[in-house]
């Protein structure tokens, strides 16, 4: 497992607070290198959004099982998130009161505490395990007969071994809220979204009488200068309220290894607010708080994932069942995220996505026309920015399913052209015979010696990464 403190907390200082336990020394933080934007236009710098990836961090992409059970008991129901106004004429817009908005929305907001285990090494290289706890926020977005579903940011629960949800108690004292264990339903790292579920049977009748499912607004109807309220678990102390205005729409924000299109607000989004709600004056959730601009001397630049963007992704996460191991899909590549560090060496025209290092012989990827040196940018209709994101999407597919991969491929003039490939996924068990060969290739790749496995690049650019020796 990655060192949660070194790899993640550096990028989430403004969203996600870690507290070291079983270890008196606070772990050192890495310094982020300042670098110029490589897209020909000035992009906003963030300290948020995705885990740190090195220049080469390859994996074999094959389905992984997020859980042993289906999301729903009968396997036939699907949850849809409806964009609705506050019912029964109880809209708070007529008053324009932040207090009224808060009272209306707070029962749908939860605090999330996650526990992460990491391996540390002592002075004499002895190995020992430590635990860290993190604080974030979440929004109750759906309910069925068995579970409540809570939306949050992926980085809030990433690598967590335990997740707990604290519900609103109806009291200003957040310590009175009921704490219940939650289970991760699924994640989408590229959009920084995740869903956890809490069994209804584990929640007291008192709490069930207080909490509610959030009313979701239409972020496409949001206008500049519109007043908004941000609610979240600031600093891990419990629910807090800040207010402000929509400062910008469809703001392209450059993260460490991807670009996100977000809503900008001057409502303070403090540490621990990640996964909380950005709410309009009707009490409707129009965004999921995700990032805060971190630059010396800059204030009032918070960001939220628009609900129009988040809604279909959250629905997919909730409605796609986990896949049994003997049915898990297999693609047959090794690859890595195209990171900012990589662009420093190769140039800023390299597309964002997943760089394909090798393609296994006779694999679904090879049969579908995928080549080494291709860059995967879409999986079906979903954007792909990181290898974690691709792996997450693949993990929810069964062997035998057909998917469409959109790739960027470099031609003889050095220009990238887009191609769509139709690939029938294989079965994970089919990859066993290729595991040793794949591992040997990956070891060579990680050592900076790239050897093509299976399909070659159509442009004979097999030394694409060779200078990383």
Q: Catalytic amino acids?
A: 155, 192, 274
CA 358 vs. chain centroid, Å, equals 25
Residue with tokens 């595991």: 435
């Amino acid at each position: 497992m990655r060192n949660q403190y070194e790899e993640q907390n550096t990028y989430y200082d403004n969203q996600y607070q870690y507290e070291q336990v079983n270890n008196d020394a606070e772990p050192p933080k890495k310094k982020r290198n300042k670098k110029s934007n490589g897209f020909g236009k000035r992009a906003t710098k963030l300290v948020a959004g995705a885990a740190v990836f090195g220049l080469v961090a390859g994996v074999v992409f094959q389905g992984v099982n997020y859980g042993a059970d289906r999301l729903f008991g009968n396997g036939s129901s699907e949850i849809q998130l409806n964009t609705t106004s506050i019912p029964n004429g109880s809209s708070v817009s007529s008053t324009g009161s932040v207090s009224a908005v808060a009272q209306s929305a707070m029962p749908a907001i939860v605090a999330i505490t996650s526990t992460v285990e990491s391996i540390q090494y002592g002075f004499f290289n002895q190995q020992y395990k430590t635990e860290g706890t993190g604080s974030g926020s979440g929004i109750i977005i759906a309910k069925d007969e068995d579970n409540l579903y809570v939306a949050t940011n992926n980085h809030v629960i990433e690598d967590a071994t335990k997740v707990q949800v604290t519900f609103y108690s109806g009291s200003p004292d957040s310590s009175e809220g009921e704490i219940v264990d939650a289970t991760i339903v699924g994640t989408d790292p590229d959009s920084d979204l995740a869903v956890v579920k809490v069994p209804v049977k584990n929640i007291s009748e008192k709490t069930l009488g207080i909490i509610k499912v959030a009313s979701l607004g239409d972020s496409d109807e949001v206008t500049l200068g519109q007043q908004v309220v941000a609610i979240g678990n600031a600093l891990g102390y419990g629910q807090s309220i800040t207010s402000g205005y929509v400062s910008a729409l469809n703001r392209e924000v450059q993260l460490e290894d991807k670009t996100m299109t977000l809503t900008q607000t001057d409502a303070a989004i403090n540490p621990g607010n990640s996964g909380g709600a950005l709410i309009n004056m009707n009490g409707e959730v129009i965004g999921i708080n995700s990032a805060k601009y971190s630059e010396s001397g800059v204030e009032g630049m918070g960001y939220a994932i628009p609900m129009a963007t988040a809604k279909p992704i959250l629905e997919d996460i909730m409605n796609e069942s986990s896949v049994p191991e003997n049915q898990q899909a297999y693609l047959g590549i090794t690859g890595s995220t195209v990171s900012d560090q990589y662009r420093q060496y190769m140039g800023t025209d390299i597309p964002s996505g997943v760089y394909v290092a090798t393609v296994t012989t006779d694999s679904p990827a090879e049969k579908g026309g995928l080549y080494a040196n291709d860059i995967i940018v879409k999986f079906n209709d979903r954007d792909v920015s990181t290898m974690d994101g691709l792996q997450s999407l693949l993990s929810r597919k069964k062997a035998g399913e057909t998917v469409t991969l959109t790739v960027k491929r470099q031609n003889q003039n050095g220009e990238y052209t887009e191609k769509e490939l139709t690939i029938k996924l294989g079965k994970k068990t089919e990859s066993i015979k290729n595991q040793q060969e794949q591992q040997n290739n990956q070891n060579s790749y990680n050592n900076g010696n790239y050897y093509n496995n299976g399909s070659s690049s159509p442009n004979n650019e097999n030394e694409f990464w060779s200078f990383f020796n």
